[in-house]
Amino acid sequence: MEIDEDKIDDAVLALLWLTLHNERCAWKGFDWAATDRLHKKGLIGDPVNKSKSLILTDDGLARSQALFRELFTRPPQ
C-alpha cells in the first residue's frame, strides 16, 4: 500500500486546529515525520524544541481552519 503523505499532513494540520490555544499554538502530539514535513512546507514553526506546543504560521493557521471545516464538519441543513 502506498501512503499519500500529503493527505496525512492535511489531516494532522486539521487536527492541530482542534488543540489550538493562545491564538496560534497547538499541542504537538503527532508523528514527528508529519510535523517535520509541515515545518518544511512553511505551515508551522520548527517543532524541534522543548516546548509541548508548536506555532502555526499565518498560512498554517488559515489552512488548518479550512481543512478542519472541510474534513470534520457537517454541511448546514
Q: What's the grid cell of residue 65?
A: 481552519
Q: What is the maximum span of the chain, computed from C-alpha positions, in angstroms?
A: 44
pLDDT score at 43? 97
* 47 touches 34 (CB < 8 A): no
- Confidence (pTM): 0.90
Distant-in-sequence contacts of 18-23, Cβ < 8 A, 24+ apart: 18/68, 20/56, 20/64, 21/53, 22/53
Domains with residue ranges and CATH for the chain: 5-72 (1.10.10)
- Beta bridge pairs of residue 44: 56
* Alpha helices per DSSP H over the chain: 5-18, 32-40, 58-72
The per-residue pLDDT for 34 is: 95
Q: Does the pLDDT of residue 1 top 90, yes or no?
A: yes
At 14-73, the pLDDT tens digits run 999 999 999 999 998 899 999 999 999 999 999 988 889 999 999 999 999 999 999 999
